[in-house]
Structure 1
Amino acid sequence: MRKQWSLSGTWTFTTDPKDQGERNYWYEQKKGLPEGREVPVPHIWQRDGGELVNYYGTAWYARTFQVHEFDRSKRLFLHFDAVDYLTRVWVNGSYVGEREGGFTPFEFDITDCLNEGTEQTVTVRVYDPQDNADIPIGKQGSWYTRVSGIWQDVYLEERPAIYVEQIKVTPDIDRSAVSVRYRLSAAAAARQVVHFSVKHHLGDGAAVAAGQAEAGAAEGAFELEIPNAVLWDTENPHLYELELTLDSGNGRTDAKTEIFGMRKVEHKDGMILLNGKPLYIRGALDQAFYPDTIYTAPSDAYIQREIELAKQMGFNLLRKHIKIELPRYLYWADRMGMLIWAEAPNYVKWTKRSMLRFRHDLFGMVDRDYNRPSIIIWSIYNEEWGLEWDLANDPEKQRHVAEMYDELKACDPTRLICDNSGWTHVKTDINDHHRYFVCPDQLEAWERDLDEFVVGRPDRNFVDGYPSNGEPIVVSEFGVWGLPSMQKLKEHYGAQEPWWFINQGEESHQEDYKKPVTAAVNFSRFGLDRVFGSFEELAAASQKRMFRAVKSIIEEMRKRPVVAGYVVTEFTDIEWETNGWLDYLRNPKEGFERLKDFNGATAVMADNVNRNLWSGESQAWDVVISNNDMKSFEGSVEWRIEGTDLSGAVPVKLDGRLHLVLEQAIRFTAPAVAEPGFYKLRLELLEGGRRLAINEEELTVSPAAAGNAGGTAVTLYQMPQSLADAMALRGFKVKAGLDQNAVILTDCLDQDVLNHVYEGGQVVFLAEQGEQLEHRGQFTFRHLPEGESWPRASSFNFVDPAWFGGIPLQPEMGWEADALIPNYVVPFSDYKIAGGRRVIPLFGNPQLGESSEIVSGYFQGWIGQVGGSMIRKSHGQGSILLVTWRLMDHYGSHPIATQVLNKLVQQQAELLERAVSTADSIGE
């Protein structure tokens, strides 16, 4: 009934750096804006590149439009879906209004500004301030590229004098009915009637329910029964349409339609319930940035493909992170059955004005998206952003958060509310945590964190005086980086480096590892080219590490049924941040086809696995089944170790339980093998020959002979006798004293050892205790965080397998190095540590890296924060092979630790032999 005309498309655009446009009446110029050029709207001026990437301040838009089809007995509204940030609008030179805010829609009645002809002119001034700390911004301009301009759609709409302004539909699945509240633009005239009808969205058009009521006041409400209502859920996202029309007695004057779904969200006994059934969240953080259009999805087809990919990866929810999502995206989430966790963009500075602006956006989001069945959670704050990170100590802010929860709950009691996502809670429906660990490096620390904090102490995640009340526990942020293909990125951007290779974030995001340009310098500078050959090979290895890590992290949560779900960081890469399961171009990363193995509704997992075995070792491992959909089935778990004759099967009967443990279901003796190698444990959950789930675990098996040293002479200097005895058992000739004919193995680099090396000795310096060692020569160490750490989640440990011929090692250091990955490195790059009251900047030593042979190392992100974990450095006539891998306590019991330490000693022994041979040849 309402006519609409799109104004998206070509506009004229110009910047106004001196803010002179209003003073010079640019809104009155019929010839167009000075120095204007054509741009497509929606338009974000930063996407135009060049100086506009970092342009702040004022810009202008203008265009003409026709009104020859407009019924001048009605009203004409100019509608903007969103403009960032402060907007002033003129039509035909007449000022029509101003709007502050960058994320929610607004409109103006422009009827009285129209001229008598058919062609009209609209002019828009947009101001986006550089000093934006007390306006809601989210991550645009703070972490990633800034967003400014008319960044969503614009249209004209014809309406009668009295029209339907808003409809809110509240489903009640228990009564198979809906409660409807509506608002008119003004009180209705006498005898005006409201007609309402419900039909299936995209159905045959037949009404499934209908009725009418007299319209008196400007606001009204009614209830409507929907017989045999079809419920909305992720598997069957059924939608209805409610149409509300006004009838003046002489015919219908206005109509408005809203799409809704019949569904119910609640929490009970530590679980989230959808339509009364437990819902296990398998989510991904989605910041909804795009490689070309920045903040606007390129098309509906693009959105649909994203949601399809998310479902293929096993996700049932996307957490739209501190951004009010596009209406079109939410429509497709409704239609395709993707759950949404929505949250308003944060401000930075705690002021009364910033809080008012934030409230406007938060409640504007809820008001706009109230009818969306896909949205099941609202977040108020994220990690105290805007609360200045002192919620636990500030009673005023605690009261503010509790009041915001109460007010939002009163506004929308149909959804769950998270007060302060990931950090300290005050009043919330979800006890969620943000916990960043990386595996294999921190597996034990992650298990402890889950058992002793996340699951074991729910009250610890609340402000003192605000206890936990059994809310569902969700780990709503965690993740690991996986570098993307540089080649694909450059091809996409026309063989050029994109603007965001120079990090567009603020000062706290200017560390070297957050800058893609760093990789080009450090790849060859610190020996990565020797290990990986090319950056593309490194990127593939980085993605393998990412896959391996998130698999383990997710499986540990799924092994603990009290955890009600998780949200991984993140769905896609965004500019420099590369922890997406898809890269920034939406290409699947390495292992994409296997993500559903551990991220699907049903997962079968091995537990208590010893991944590195000596031949002949007996093993008994558990099998855990995670059954998120709580389906009943009867079948079997079949397992086999590929490349061997080992296999087995155990019967399974699952009577709708969420979780089942089959204790010691996998039993075997590690096979005799001729040489060390990689193997895979393969698990399948079957029902009547139909595969319900599949999984794999990486293993190594080594023959006992692989741990023998072959008579190499070694002196253990000030080392435990137990290690000397263990090495003697492995065939080393253990000597006493600083013998020039034996390799020195020590964790004490005192002056006697240094003098020995200077005279031609060869040392393996076991520096796994790093800066705790009293005698460590001139080497400095960086202690890597052993607990929860966002920066360490971006890390990558590498080793040159060619140095260890015959030992099963992967260049990206996988489960074969599980317990051996170091907690200390020798820093080549500058880095920072947290002090008591301030961050402490510390220097690295790049010259040491450049002058040493780097056998194994560490970096973060884009090859920043580089350090060495095995380096060979010459000293006088000899050399020191410094090693921070954790080898000592695992020697003998861990096959890889044993073989690696043996090899290190043998490598240094070869240098001794060469020195002797050289001396003999000179003597001759």
Structure 2
Amino acid sequence: MTTETTQVGRPAAHPRPQLTRPGWTSLTGPWEHRADPAEVGLTEEWWRTGTAFERTIEVPFPPESAASGVEIDDVAIHWYRREVRLDPRPGMLTILHLEAVDFECDVWVDEQHVAHHVGGFTPFEVDVTPQVAARPDAPHVVVVRSRDDRSDLEQPRGKQDWEVDPHVIWYQRTSGIWREVWVEQVPEAHVAELWWRTDPIAGIVDLTVETSRATPPGAEVRVVLSAQGRDLASASGSVAAARAEVSLSLREAVGGATLEPLWWSPEHPVLLDARIELRAGGGSGDASGATDAAGTTAGAQLDAVGSYVGLRSARVDDRAFLLNERPYLLRLVLEQAYWPTSHLAAPSEAALEEEVRWIKRLGFNGLRMHQTSADPRFLELCDRLGLLVWVDSPASFRYSTTSLDRTVRGWLDLVRRDRSHPSVVTWVPFNESWGVEQVSVDPRQRDAVRALHHLTKALDPTRPVIGNDGWEYVAGDVVGVHDYRHDPDALAAMLADRAALVTTSSVSGRRVVLDAAGCPEAAEGRPVVLSEFGGFTLATHDGTWAGYGGVADGEELLERLESLVTAVVGSGIAGFCYTQLTDTEQERNGLLTEDREPKADPDRIAAAIRSGGVRR
């Protein structure tokens, strides 16, 4: 099985960069497509061979987008079909991966239904080994049906609009397949999931390895960490109940020297390469070549994967965000991850890298990935080039048992997917009470915020969690404030008075901290981050949304930006997140246009973002 690039302009960078094997096949590129506005495809069995499909679509671009070649809007159901050749190999499983399909998805292979998935922002995989084995010398037909109902407000959608046309701060939809589709072959006994944790002060790296259920009794996992081709540490752990725990120390690698050169930060994004081997038991000191009942040779390699890890810690105290146990001022920018021709699907790997480099060039040390999941390749770029990332849960817009169930399932999947990235430093399950609009008066909705906060901490206790960011704080490690007032003195005064902040209402009219039982007490001793502010819009006469306040030109933008940032930093809070990196459809308040052109001198923007002192 070979890696192939099937789409011009989309290099085949591995879609799962923290768990890689050589020899995977990209299925991006042209697929057959058929819209289903009358919702008759299931009853007419469009998954059957011989069904007529109307057109070609370029995957993974959503059908609403120009890049797809289709540009069909306001249709809930889309069908996709592609023929692919897969070579079965003895003892190997064939796994089909779909990185994101919005929102519900069904998959058929050779007319057999093989998967149903709910959730538009996280990946899923399908074992198609039986279908491949049944027709070893023939091409296989993959059919995907997606359903994305724009009017379903109980469906997590983030910034995708539920109205026909985008309005205010909501955008065109991203339906159907919108991330990579790919195939790999893996051994029956294989590494399935990795979770890295690190302690930079002690120089300890911990790894949890989840394996397939076919892993034989007595198997073990061996891990080797290296940097620039030099091995730094190795250790092994036994597999029990399809899980192994491995702990590695980097102390010996540095001798008596400091570990600090190995620490990861935006200014010094050191990554340690990792090789993880799954081996049959009985290999240590056993040269007999004995085999078990299944015919596996003792000590034989069952699987091997590549990964990487960054040695860093992220937590807060009562005043500051701490990176590697040192106060670190957050200078973040709001990232909508939206492109005019491809919507939430990145137009190319190069575009992802350009985005990261723009954020760094403009003086920011991080970003908030707003109301969508990040492409794993984007997170790998943040890891490698050095940016901090806050991760949002895409919101629904009506509270119910159904919406809560969908939100929880999708969010926990996202946390598990992203928790090994050193760039990811904060989790944000709710934003501005979206999806829990009655949180101030409904105890159930407050319980939902607390529950998801605690579930996130249970799944990953290594990072701060903000239960509800922006206003109406209920629970969380940080009090996030969204305030778009443009008077620097008034904004600084509001942020500097920690005691008064608990009873303050932001410009939105919502209380920063709820006055419900337990909420003010939970906010005590928490650092404050101004997690949305600014939002300046250049003067426009085209009737588009005016944003949070206009400026005449780039020069005034720079002046206003510098005065606001200086005031915010001077207030003594833990950091800020400026709204926003790029113009996005009618929301024209970016520092860059939607085509990624700066609205003012980038070096002067960077100087303004860094104004107010270093305070690292």
TM-score by length of 1: 0.57
- Residue 449 (str. 1) matches residue 500 (str. 2): no
- Residue 118 (str. 1) matches residue 138 (str. 2): yes
Deviation per residue, 1:814-868 (Å, 9 max, x gap): xxxxxxxxxxxxxxxxxxxxxxxxxxxxxxxxxxxxxxxxxxxxxxxxxxxxxxx
Written as runs of structure 1 = structure 2, the 5 A alignment for 1:673-692 is none
The offset of 1:52, in angstroms, is 4.3
The offset of 1:458, in angstroms, is 3.7
Tell me the equivalent position of 1:752. Answer: none
Deviation per residue, 1:280-331 (Å, 9 max, x gap): 0111111110121111222222222222222222101100111111101100
The offset of 1:156, in angstroms, is 0.8
Distance (whole Å) between structure 2 residues aligned to residue 29 and residue 485 of structure 1: 53
Distance (whole Å) between structure 2 residues aligned to residue 41 and residue 431 of structure 1: 40
Unaligned runs of at least 5 residues, structure 1: 487-500, 502-511, 517-538, 604-624, 630-924
Tell me the equivalent position of 2:112. Answer: 94
Written as runs of structure 1 = structure 2, the 5 A alignment for 1:488-503 is none
Tell me the equivalent position of 1:40. Answer: 58
Does the CA-based 8 Å contact 1:283-1:315 persist in structure 2?
Answer: yes
- Residue 549 (str. 1) matches residue 604 (str. 2): no
Tell me the equivalent position of 2:307. Answer: 258
SS in 2 for 1:169: strand
Structure 1 pair 4–162 and aligned structure 2 pair: CA distance change class (3 A): same
- Letter of the 1:166 counterpart: E
- Residue 299 (str. 1) matches residue 348 (str. 2): yes
Written as runs of structure 1 = structure 2, the 5 A alignment for 1:387-402 is 387-388=436-437, 390-402=438-450
SS in 2 for 1:306: helix
SS in 2 for 1:10: strand
Does the CA-based 8 Å contact 1:187-1:217 persist in structure 2?
Answer: no
Tell me the equivalent position of 2:530. Answer: 475
- Letter of the 1:396 counterpart: R
Tell me the equivalent position of 2:183. Answer: 156
Does the CA-based 8 Å contact 1:84-1:101 persist in structure 2?
Answer: yes
Tell me the equivalent position of 2:577. Answer: 567
Structure 1 pair 189–443 and aligned structure 2 pair: CA distance change class (3 A): closer
Written as runs of structure 1 = structure 2, the 5 A alignment for 1:176-187 is 176-186=203-213
- Letter of the 2:175 counterpart: S
SS in 2 for 1:20: coil
The offset of 1:180, in angstroms, is 1.5
Tell me the equivalent position of 2:407. Answer: 358
Tell me the equivalent position of 2:239. Answer: 215
Structure 1 pair 7–462 and aligned structure 2 pair: CA distance change class (3 A): same
Tell me the equivalent position of 2:357. Answer: 308
Tell me the equivalent position of 2:165. Answer: none
The offset of 1:445, in angstroms, is 4.1
- Residue 76 (str. 1) matches residue 94 (str. 2): yes
Distance (whole Å) between structure 2 residues aligned to residue 165 and residue 40 of structure 1: 30
The offset of 1:593, in angstroms, is 2.9
Deviation per residue, 1:739-780 (Å, 9 max, x gap): xxxxxxxxxxxxxxxxxxxxxxxxxxxxxxxxxxxxxxxxxx
Does the CA-based 8 Å contact 1:431-1:458 persist in structure 2?
Answer: no
The offset of 1:542, in angstroms, is 3.8
Written as runs of structure 1 = structure 2, the 5 A alignment for 1:836-847 is none
- Letter of the 2:99 counterpart: D
The offset of 1:569, in angstroms, is 0.5
Tell me the equivalent position of 2:420. Answer: 371
Q: Among 455, 470, 485, which residue is 1:407 paired with?
A: 455
- Letter of the 1:235 counterpart: E
Distance (whole Å) between structure 1 residues aligned to residue 114 and residue 477 of structure 2: 42
Deviation per residue, 1:161-208 (Å, 9 max, x gap): 2211111111122321112111111153144332221122xx22x322
- Residue 241 (str. 1) matches residue 290 (str. 2): no
- Letter of the 2:501 counterpart: R
Identity over aligned residues, as a percent?
29
- Letter of the 1:457 counterpart: L
Distance (whole Å) between structure 2 residues aligned to residue 596 and residue 132 of structure 1: 41
Distance (whole Å) between structure 2 residues aligned to residue 46 and residue 259 of structure 1: 36
Tell me the equivalent position of 2:6. Answer: none
- Letter of the 2:606 counterpart: K
Distance (whole Å) between structure 2 residues aligned to residue 88 and residue 447 of structure 1: 51
Distance (whole Å) between structure 2 residues aligned to residue 397 and residue 475 of structure 1: 24
| Structure number with bigger Rg | 1
Distance (whole Å) between structure 1 residues aligned to residue 199 and residue 35 of structure 2: 51
SS in 2 for 1:566: strand
Deviation per residue, 1:651-691 (Å, 9 max, x gap): xxxxxxxxxxxxxxxxxxxxxxxxxxxxxxxxxxxxxxxxx
- Residue 584 (str. 1) matches residue 615 (str. 2): no
- Letter of the 1:463 counterpart: L
The offset of 1:2, in angstroms, is 5.5
SS in 2 for 1:563: coil
Distance (whole Å) between structure 1 residues aligned to residue 588 and residue 545 of structure 2: 9
- Letter of the 1:100 counterpart: V
Structure 1 pair 450–215 and aligned structure 2 pair: CA distance change class (3 A): closer
SS in 2 for 1:573: coil
- Residue 462 (str. 1) matches residue 473 (str. 2): no
Tell me the equivalent position of 1:636. Answer: none
- Letter of the 2:106 counterpart: R
Tell me the equivalent position of 1:322. Answer: 371
Does the CA-based 8 Å contact 1:480-1:550 persist in structure 2?
Answer: no
Distance (whole Å) between structure 2 residues aligned to residue 131 and residue 403 of structure 1: 27
Tell me the equivalent position of 1:828. Answer: none
TM-score by length of 2: 0.84
Tell me the equivalent position of 1:273. Answer: 322
Distance (whole Å) between structure 2 residues aligned to residue 172 and residue 231 of structure 1: 10
Structure 1 pair 371–50 and aligned structure 2 pair: CA distance change class (3 A): closer
Deviation per residue, 1:446-482 (Å, 9 max, x gap): 3553455x67434543222322222111111112333
SS in 2 for 1:408: helix
- Letter of the 2:485 counterpart: F
- Residue 284 (str. 1) matches residue 304 (str. 2): no
Tell me the equivalent position of 1:514. Answer: 545
The offset of 1:485, in angstroms, is 8.9
Tell me the equivalent position of 1:819. Answer: none
Distance (whole Å) between structure 2 residues aligned to residue 178 and residue 262 of structure 1: 7
Does the CA-based 8 Å contact 1:163-1:184 persist in structure 2?
Answer: yes
Does the CA-based 8 Å contact 1:232-1:239 persist in structure 2?
Answer: yes
Written as runs of structure 1 = structure 2, the 5 A alignment for 1:181-200 is 181-186=208-213, 188-200=215-227
Distance (whole Å) between structure 2 residues aligned to residue 168 and residue 447 of structure 1: 40
SS in 2 for 1:478: strand
Written as runs of structure 1 = structure 2, the 5 A alignment for 1:103-142 is 103-114=121-132, 115-142=135-162
Segment of structure 1 superposing worse, 297-306 or 315-324:
297-306
Deviation per residue, 1:33-92 (Å, 9 max, x gap): 524222221120001499945322211101111123x31432111110111111111111
- Letter of the 1:9 counterpart: G
SS in 2 for 1:417: coil
Tell me the equivalent position of 1:174. Answer: 201
When the two structures are aligned, how many residues end up with a matched partner? 548
Q: As a proportion of its length, which structure holds more strand?
A: 1
SS in 1 for 2:537: coil
Does the CA-based 8 Å contact 1:2-1:255 persist in structure 2?
Answer: no
- Letter of the 1:332 counterpart: L
Q: As a proportion of its length, which structure holds more helix?
A: 1
Structure 1 pair 66–580 and aligned structure 2 pair: CA distance change class (3 A): same
Does the CA-based 8 Å contact 1:2-1:254 persist in structure 2?
Answer: no
Q: Among 584, 598, 607, which residue is 2:608 paired with?
A: 598
Structure 1 pair 566–216 and aligned structure 2 pair: CA distance change class (3 A): closer
Deviation per residue, 1:387-421 (Å, 9 max, x gap): 01x32222222222122212211111111111111
